[in-house]
Structure 1
Amino acid sequence: MFQRLREDINSVFDRDPAARNFLEVLTNYPGLHALLIHRLSHWLWRKNLKWLARSLSTFSRWLTGIEIHPGARIGRRFFIDHGMGVVIGETAEVGDDVTLYQGVTLGGTSWNKGKRHPTLADGVIVGAGAKILGPFTVGAGAKIGSNAVVTKEVPAGATVVGIPGKIVKRTEPDAAEVLEVDPERREAMRRKFGFDAYGISEDMPDPVARSIQAMLDHMHAVDERIERMCQTLRKVDASYRDGRLPELRDEDFADILDDADACAMPEKAPAAREAPATTKGDDGRGTNG
């Protein structure tokens, strides 16, 4: 028991640089208080003392602002930072070394009995305000962005952001074989389409930008394969002639690019959208241009 207590307190020092000493952590961290009370209420729950366990859980909610159902299973070195508004449901399971921030909900989407809350594997980090809803697993080492709403399984090591939650980073690609994309050709295709991912780097990914980038990469891979097929056909049949592909003209994308520029920099709308200048003719009446 004392070993568990020492682990829980040390986890605060490991993940919160504001923690200064043992006494401060033990007396002023509501996340630690909620965890310690939950360990007792969960023990009572397993001993079939349901009412007493729920009453202790309610007291903990009143004291800390953190609601953990006594039936939830919490692993070792669990850390709730700040904590206000955290809700963990009855059938939720939390692994070791998991970190939650304020406003996180591990909830369900069904009123049926049985497993209806998520399972967080070891090392998961859940940002402030995130909602993880449903009886699925969030893989080891995954990160859930602030205010994300996650309703389906998350692979190990992935990063999920947005509403609904979208995977923006994986430790490994899904496909066994991934075609390498030449960075120079990728950049040329981006310029051709007028797409620059809104200046967002890989460290701050945007789901829409990543989706467009994936489509461009796929188009590049298809283009490479078609080119190889044409080369093979020329070797087989000397009379084979390549047909010219339709050109991508800049004017075909002018309206789309103007709209994108207007959304990105409304104070610098395209000049083409300004009203034509009005000058006065000899008769004093206004005439266009």
Structure 2
Amino acid sequence: MFSRLTAYLDSIVARDPAPRSRFEVLLYPGLWAVGWHRVSHRLFNARLFFLARAIQHFSRFLTGFEIHPGAKIGKHLFLEHGFITIGETAVIGDNVTIYPCVTLGGTNPTNGKGGKRHPTLEDNVIVGAGAQILGPITVGQRARIGANAVVTDDVPEGATMVGVKARSTLVKVETWAKDFMPYGTPCKEPCEPSGQRIEDLEARIVLLQAQVEELLSDRELAGGPDAPVSRKRTRS
């Protein structure tokens, strides 16, 4: 048991630059939230639903994390700061990192039955702050969900999702980053082709504005504002 706890603490230290030692990690509310969930989940599986819920509410009061007792959580889950909601049928793999204000939410079943309503996060997934992952979808291994993204469809393994509704960036994460990416959101490289495209479009707008101004000037010189626009071609 002690070796498992040590491995868990070390996994958090490896993903968080803030703690100076394992002892600091012992004070993390996310660590305690996961610990209380282990207890409530066992009670839930034993069909002691009221006790499981009671422990869950106690944990939420102390830590600020809302984890349903029915959720299945793998090894070394790192919950960085609070206000994270994890639904009843959510499944979380090993070494998953979730940043603040994330919701693993459910969708309304159309058949009137509960069933699988919440997402599945496979191993080594990183979910950025404020992201919303909704419905019985699967987020593949090593996928990154960017901050404030809204994900409602399956995410391929290794993809990086950004935006509302979330879409994959042009460069998959496995082609350029093998190590852990803090905060889950690429800052430059994967989005660089999109940024270059925006710069090109802005340059074209400036060029078009100059051409329009030249056409208006030609029309005024040709005979006033009511004169037909000159067909003079402007080289770009």
- The 1:255/1:170 distance shift into structure 2, 3 A limit, reads closer
Aligned to 2:92, which of 94, 101, 105? 94
Offset of residue 259 of structure 1: 8.9
Deviates more, 1:46-55 or 1:7-16: 7-16
Aligned to 2:172, which of 170, 182, 197? 170
Match in the other structure for 2:213? 272
Q: Could you state the TM-score of these two structures normalised by the residue count of structure 2?
A: 0.74
SS at match of 1:13: helix
Distance 1:124 1:32 in 2: 18
Match in the other structure for 1:46? 45
- The 1:172/1:122 distance shift into structure 2, 3 A limit, reads closer
Equivalences for residues 219-258 of structure 1 within 5 A: 257-258=205-206
Equivalences for residues 99-114 of structure 1 within 5 A: 99-111=97-109, 112-114=113-115
Match in the other structure for 2:183? none
Match in the other structure for 2:4? 4
Offset of residue 121 of structure 1: 0.5
Offset of residue 254 of structure 1: 11
Match in the other structure for 1:158? 159
RMSD: 3.2
Match in the other structure for 1:37? 36
- The 1:51/1:172 distance shift into structure 2, 3 A limit, reads same
Offset of residue 48 of structure 1: 1.0
CA contact (8 A) 1:8 1:32 kept: no
Aligned to 1:203, which of 185, 189, 200? 189
Match in the other structure for 1:247? none
Distance 1:137 1:41 in 2: 24
Cα deviation, 1:80-119, whole Å, max 9, x if unaligned, reads 112x110000000000010000011111121441101000
Percent of residue pairs identical: 50
- The 1:72/1:207 distance shift into structure 2, 3 A limit, reads farther
How many residues are treated as equivalent by the alignment? 199
Distance 1:208 1:20 in 2: 38
Offset of residue 20 of structure 1: 1.5
Offset of residue 11 of structure 1: 1.6
Relative contact order (alpha carbons < 8 A, sep ≥ 6): 1 or 2 greater? 2
CA contact (8 A) 2:172 2:190 kept: no
The answer to whether residue 89 in structure 2 is matched with residue 148 in structure 1 is no
SS at match of 1:113: coil
Offset of residue 8 of structure 1: 2.1
Match in the other structure for 1:191? none
Amino acid of the residue matched to residue 20 of structure 1? R
SS at match of 1:205: helix
Match in the other structure for 1:130? 131
The answer to whether residue 65 in structure 2 is matched with residue 79 in structure 1 is no
Unmatched 5+ stretches in structure 2: 176-186, 218-236
Distance 1:208 1:86 in 2: 31
